[in-house]
Structure 1
Amino acid sequence: MRRLMILLVLLFPSACLAADQGDISAVAVPLSSTDPTLDRLGEVRVLGLHRLSAAQSWFGGISGLAWDGDALVGVTDKGYWLRFHVQADKEGAPLAVSGLQGGGLGGITQDSKVDGDAEEILRDGSSWLVSFERRHRVWRYPSGLDGAPIAVPLAEGVAALGENDGIEAMARLADGRLLLIAEGREGEPTSPAWIGTPGQWRQLLYPRHGLFRPTAAVALPDGGLLVVERQYTMLAGPAMRLLRLDAGQVENLAGREIVRLAPPLNVDNFEAVAVRARADGRLVATLMSDDNFNPLQSTLMLTILLP
């Protein structure tokens, strides 16, 4: 069966991964429509690019992502959480998706961009941390994502962020401090960021690279950090780049680009990232795009092997 699945994906890029009773489907798409064999991006090897879909009305708009065992957990622009299992081979390439679940985040009004625009999720011990923009805040969910939240005290400057310029990236660093990075205003050379703990925050400035702005971050086991940046223009469409910050450079927010994905390659509005280790210790990153519940966009899942 596994050989058949691999053969289908190689011969027919639109072949579906195995799905559980049709609750969620993942259709393989090539990175390049002109070169279906392309599997390298910058310094990384691409293990898969899949278009996800589900019948549930709340599926889509995924802006934050985290692993919980073998399940991916996400939060959406309209105040929902979702999770589904990803079965992978020894290389880390997805083989099957199944078991889609979802529901409303606790403490908010669903389907409201003002109240429920969740942008990032972080597993923090036995709790979940979720950041929101428009009504800027970070909430802790100690008893499940549908339970009662507790507000995390933030720096004063967070409340002054623009409506659509809030905290897009959040990571728990190796020393226990939180790093919060806002998308920031369009046209500015930097994005505001904060590092510290509740009640003890220090402001930083995240350097911009052209029109790219930060949309997600995840801490690495070696103390480093991955940051996803997104760019969109009416003329060129969406583009994404992935930066790696070494452990000694996290506080300086100085990273180097390891991946860039732009047209004519298949790319969408990438806003989320999660990382897990495979059996040999190599790290596999999963990136997800936010389709904004727009039929002209897609929920893409990009799986890559980090250098």
Structure 2
Amino acid sequence: MELAAIDADADLPGAAFAGGWHLASTDPAFGGLSGLAVRADGALLAITDRGAFVVIELRDGIPASARLAPMGLETADDKTARDAEGLALHEELALVSFEHRHRVLAFALGRCGAAARGAPVAAFGAAVSGLSRALAANGGAEGLAVTPGGALLLGLETNDDGLPLAQLTEAGTAAVSTRIAPRGRPVLTGLDATATTLYAVLRDYLPGVGNHIEVLAMPLGPGGPAASKVRRVLRLAPRHGTDNFEGIALSRRADGSLRLWLVADDNFSHRQRTLLYAFNLGDDPQPSP
């Protein structure tokens, strides 16, 4: 799959398109891929908004097969408890943020595999300190990332005088730590980080038109991201071939450069697609002062 009508300077100022794939399966449980991470063995790990893990095996950098396993959740029969959205890997733990019942769970996948049960990390509910209003049921922690200092950052899917990034506190609550300046109507849908840079996915959906997608980079230190120093990595419009991109993941290539992965949530709808795109970034792009 190729991107159409791309202006490399305007649309890919910090990236080079490496490949795109439409993922599909006859298994009705496959779909809704909302969070993405890269495992230590190079495979992609995704989560679905119906509460499942999906491992996507790569062969020569190309998706080759996938395996799906339901998450071990405390109330697996409750749909509002299964809406997994954000994913971050920390050592052998998979950290997953959920909407509707706003919380973060940890799964010891490295030790227990598909049998891992979700252990509570935080249950912050709809109240996030620093927001002007309570979180909507479907407007919670779409993105999740770990800072160099070990803190958990939440990318909230709401526009509240900017795009809020929150941080979990030791008490298990959440508080807005910074905001990306307003950029029109987009909301945050995904986060991932290297040791020095936080990457954020922004989505702006226009009914009858489609999805506009932007990826931003900003410096990241132990104290958190410098949201005032953002740099555009890429921008995709419906004419380029977009869908509902929500998951983002970063990995190192053999030459030390970065590969950025984006995955689209098809919402289990036949009118949408599960797309997986790959971009090469070279070195960590540093935002302009």
Q: TM-score, normalised by structure 2?
A: 0.84
For structure 1, list consecutive stretches of 5 or more residues without a partner in the other structure. 1-28, 89-93
Separation in 2, partners of 1:121, 1:199: 21
Aligned to 1:178: 152
Larger radius of gyration: 1
Q: Do the aligned partners of 1:104 and 1:146 also contact (CA within 8 Å) in 2?
A: no
Aligned to 1:140: 106
For structure 2, list consecutive stretches of 5 or more residues without a partner in the other structure. 283-289
CA shift at 1:235, angstroms? Answer: 3.7
Residue number among 81, 88, 91 corresponding to 1:125 in the alignment: 91
Q: Do the aligned partners of 2:102 and 2:123 also contact (CA within 8 Å) in 1?
A: no
Q: Do the aligned partners of 2:102 and 2:124 also contact (CA within 8 Å) in 1?
A: no
CA shift at 1:210, angstroms? Answer: 0.7
CA shift at 1:304, angstroms? Answer: 0.1
Instruction: Decide which moves more: 260-269 or 194-203.
Output: 194-203
Aligned to 1:60: 31
Aligned to 1:226: 199
Instruction: State the one-letter code of the partner of 2:227.
Output: L
Separation in 2, partners of 1:197, 1:252: 19
Separation in 1, partners of 2:220, 2:87: 22
Separation in 1, partners of 2:28, 2:163: 33
Deviation string, structure 1 residues 44-64 (Cα, Å, up to 9, x no partner): 110001111111111110000
CA shift at 1:247, angstroms? Answer: 2.9
Aligned to 1:97: 64
Instruction: State the one-letter code of the partner of 1:97.
Output: A
Deviation string, structure 1 residues 144-194 (Cα, Å, up to 9, x no partner): 454222111355724941111110111111111111121125xx4324432
- Between the two proteins, the alignment pairs up a number of residues equal to 267
Q: Do the aligned partners of 1:137 and 1:152 also contact (CA within 8 Å) in 2?
A: yes
Q: 1:47 to 1:111 in 2, by over 3 A?
A: farther
Helix, strand or coil: the match of 1:176? coil
Instruction: State the one-letter code of the partner of 2:99.
Output: E
Instruction: State the one-letter code of the partner of 2:167.
Output: I
Separation in 1, partners of 2:50, 2:77: 4
Q: How large is the RMSD of aligned CA atoms in angstroms?
A: 2.5
Helix, strand or coil: the match of 2:261? strand
Helix, strand or coil: the match of 1:164? coil
Separation in 1, partners of 2:76, 2:50: 6
CA shift at 1:203, angstroms? Answer: 2.5
Separation in 1, partners of 2:265, 2:187: 15
Q: Between the two proteins, what is the percent identity of the paired residues?
A: 31
Q: 1:179 to 1:145 in 2, by over 3 A?
A: farther
Deviation string, structure 1 residues 198-244 (Cα, Å, up to 9, x no partner): 327542242331111111111113x2111111110114211110001
Q: 1:133 to 1:151 in 2, by over 3 A?
A: same
Aligned to 2:122: 153
Separation in 2, partners of 1:147, 1:137: 17
Q: 1:262 to 1:112 in 2, by over 3 A?
A: farther
Helix, strand or coil: the match of 2:80? helix
Aligned to 1:302: 277
Instruction: Decide which moves more: 286-295 or 255-264.
Output: 255-264
Separation in 2, partners of 1:145, 1:128: 11
